[in-house]
Amino acid sequence: MGRQKYGTVYFIGAGPGDPDLLTIKAAKVLSIAEVVIVDRLVSEEILKAYVNPNAVIIPVGKQGRSESSTPQYEINDLIVQFASAYNTVVRLKGGDVALYSNVLDELITVNENNIPYEIIPGITAASGASAATGVPLTARGLSTGVRVLTYYQNTAIADEAWKHLASFEDTLVFYMTGNALPQLVNKLLQHSADATIPFLIVEQATTPQQYVYEYTLGGFETAEKPASFISPSLVIMGKVTALYRQFKWQANNEERKHYFKPLQDNPELISLINHIQEKHVSRA
């Protein structure tokens, strides 16, 4: 029996939300894609405007604490399965492929199966939120660098690292941290952070539903805030965020609606996969 032949898998970053921020190269590949395996944080407008209308679209989103999230091993299996039946398979991710996208698991999968692939970067959420709020992430006299992080309630960070973060020599950008913000703020204050340090929480950056909250470390605990922040929310901490009021160029959307659909059960997915298996034979 001959060696299994596979199509090419394209790992593509779709950008932070605004469909016009998709790269030209990404749009070209999406226009010829036969299968698009897509994350939740990809604009529906991108799928409508740029994806080949004949493509099979497979939703495999993840969302914190949602039972509807697709396990990573299933996503890996889908990549292999569809690459065995189609020439052009896209794994479409929100933001940029390189940041908090679980791309390593998927790269290991394609490598182990000798599947050809290409990586096409996208504008990351941090860059998108920076532009959409008018806040530069580095600025002379305010920030010497940027730290891109995530924080959960049980994240293990050494005391020395906390002390460096709390010095706020750098701007701190936290992904997927909204629900752990009280613990994060307390940790920074416990390690001698200046209580007057400002920070922003940017809901759904670059989308029509963008909403920006302004806080300080010392005032966060007693400040008025929503019961929960709409996903995705990005936290930008540091002296540069004081520039927001001076340079913001768009108003908050007071509706606070979901731009990206919350995950739902997708019983059609299994039947679709089974149909694809029956319709397409693996190429030997």
Pair 96, 133 in one domain: no
Is the peptide bond between 262 and the residue preceding it cis, with omega within 30 degrees of 0? no
Asked if residue 131 belongs to a domain, the reply is yes
Long-range contacts of 99-102 (CB under 8 A, 24+ apart): 99/124, 99/125, 99/126, 99/148, 99/175, 100/150, 100/175, 100/176, 101/13, 101/39, 102/72, 102/75
For the record, the structure tokens of 39 come out as 């994350």
d(CA 31, CA 205): 25
Pair 231, 147 in one domain: yes
Task: Calculate mean pLDDT across residues 191-210.
Answer: 97
Write down the mean pLDDT value for the chain: 90
Pair 242, 162 in one domain: yes
Asked if residue 26 belongs to a domain, the reply is yes
Asked if residue 16 belongs to a domain, the reply is yes
Query: Is there a contact between 220 and 237 (Cβ–Cβ < 8 Å)?
Result: no
Pair 150, 179 in one domain: yes
Pair 56, 99 in one domain: yes
Tell me how many domains the chain contains. 2
In sequence order, what are the residues at sequence separation of 6 or more whose Cβ sits closer than 8 angstroms to the Cβ of residue 39?
Answer: 14, 60, 61, 62, 92, 93, 94, 101
Query: Is there a contact between 32 and 54 (Cβ–Cβ < 8 Å)?
Result: no
Asked if residue 106 belongs to a domain, the reply is yes
Share of the chain above pLDDT 70, in %: 88
Q: Which residues are catalytic?
A: 39, 62, 176
Query: Is there a contact between 197 and 242 (Cβ–Cβ < 8 Å)?
Result: no
Asked if residue 81 belongs to a domain, the reply is yes
Pair 267, 232 in one domain: no
Asked if residue 142 belongs to a domain, the reply is yes
Q: What is the CATH number of the domain that holds 20?
A: 3.40.1010.10
Q: How confident is the model at residue 24 (pLDDT cuts 50, 70, 90)?
A: very high
pLDDT digits (tens, 9 = 90+) for 135-178: 999 999 999 999 999 998 667 788 889 999 999 999 999 998 88
Q: How confident is the model at residue 66 (pLDDT cuts 50, 70, 90)?
A: very low
Instruction: Give the residue numbers spanning the domain of 269.
Output: 8-123+261-279
Pair 22, 82 in one domain: yes
Report residue 190: phi and psi, to 5°. Answer: -65, -25
Q: What is the CATH number of the domain that holds 225?
A: 3.30.950.10
Report residue 242: phi and psi, to 5°. Answer: -65, -15
Q: Give the per-residue pLDDT at 277.
A: 52
Pair 41, 114 in one domain: yes
Pair 269, 206 in one domain: no
Asked if residue 111 belongs to a domain, the reply is yes
Quote the pTM value. Answer: 0.88
Q: Give the per-residue pLDDT at 168.
A: 97
The angle, 0 to 180 degrees and rounded to 10, between the axes of the packed helices 103-112 and 72-83 is 40
Pair 199, 240 in one domain: yes
Pair 47, 81 in one domain: yes
| 276: pLDDT strictly greater than 80 | no
Pair 89, 141 in one domain: no
Strand 88-93 relative to strand 8-13, pairing: parallel
Asked if residue 255 belongs to a domain, the reply is no
